[in-house]
Amino acid sequence: MSLPANTATQSKAVIGVSLKLYFGYQRSVDYCRDVAAIAFAHPAVQNGDIELFVLPTLPALPEAARILGAAGAAAGAQDIFWEDEGAFTGEVGGRTVAELGGRYAEVGHAERRRIFGEDDRIIGLKTAAAYRNGLTPVLCVGELQQGSVEEAVARCSADIDAALNRAQSLGPAGRTIVAYEPQWAIGAPEPATPEYISAVITGLDAHLRALPGQADSRVIYGGSAGPGLITRLDSAVAGLFLGRFAHDPKALKTILDEAAARLGLLAGTAARA
């Protein structure tokens, strides 16, 4: 089972995994094989209730897309360039990502902002590149320091608007997955509290889905997310964007089971959303 780009709009939950630069080529492919086996046997993935994707190291993308696509999941890139072609040595455009079988493109991660100096202009251009190449942008936003819920919603809503306004000035927009990742929680031993996450994402979800063309868009949580978290979050939180805590396929299976249980999709569980 494999869905074309930008069609998984009816999913009830979204679970994404970024492998960052932790795995080399072969380990990335082996991980995707393990995830595909889990996805193929998981009813909520197979019936489309859970939208599952993995962002491997770029050289592994074609094989990852083939392996995961056959199991009802998908793959994507951890970054794209803002132009599709030209004299840009070393860059990879969204057109190439799509040709390699990618269906998602992560943009605006805190590490890209901090280490590579990416600002709102660049993130907006990359978001536009994702849209025009049929990719779903995974737009990362998150406040630098912990403050109030209201401050976080205001800061992250401004980041969403900056990216989408620039993108829409360059062409038609599409569905967006916003990954709320408070920068102070990335790499921390524990995520933000469930109450804080739920309150911020409730605000972001209302803001995002009220924007033109974004009714099918979703907000998920990242930032030291792992097993045990999603069952403690409000139903406004569509899912999780996972890093190191899902690099063990067994942990990812646990999270998929928890997401399904929260939706009342596993036998013997009560609906939570």
Note the pLDDT of residue 224. Answer: 87
51, 106, 118, 181: the catalytic one is 181
109, 118, 143, 258: the catalytic one is 109
Instruction: Tell whether the model's pLDDT for residue 125 goes beyond 60.
Output: yes
Residue spans per domain, the chain: 13-262
Note the pLDDT of residue 188. Answer: 80
State pTM to two decimals: 0.92
Confidence of residue 266 (pLDDT cuts 50, 70, 90): low
CB atoms inside a 10 Å sphere around CB 93: 18
Q: Which CATH architecture has domain 13-262?
A: Alpha-Beta Barrel (3.20)
| Known catalytic membership, residue 247 | no
The token duo for 81 is 């360039």
| Known catalytic membership, residue 181 | yes
Instruction: Tell whether the model's pLDDT for residue 153 goes beyond 60.
Output: yes
Rounded mean pLDDT, 17-38? 98
Q: Considering the chain, what percentage of its residues have pLDDT values greater than 90? A: 88
Buried b or exposed e, range 209-218, using 16+ CB within 10 angstroms? eebeebeebb
Three-state SS sequence of the chain: CCCCCCCCCCCCEEEEEECCCCCCHHHHHHHHHHHHHHHHCCHHHHCCCEEEEEECCHHHHHHHHHHHHCCCCEEEECCCECCCCCCCCCCCEHHHHHHCCCCEEEECCHHHHHHHCCCHHHHHHHHHHHHHCCCEEEEEECCCCCCCHHHHHHHHHHHHHHHHHHHHHHCCCCCCEEEECCCCCCCCCCCCCHHHHHHHHHHHHHHHHCCCCCCCCEEEEECCCCCCCHHHCCCCCCEEEECHHHCCHHHHHHHHHHHHHHCCCCCCCCCCC
* pLDDT 10s digits, 90-121: 999 999 999 999 999 999 999 999 999 999 99
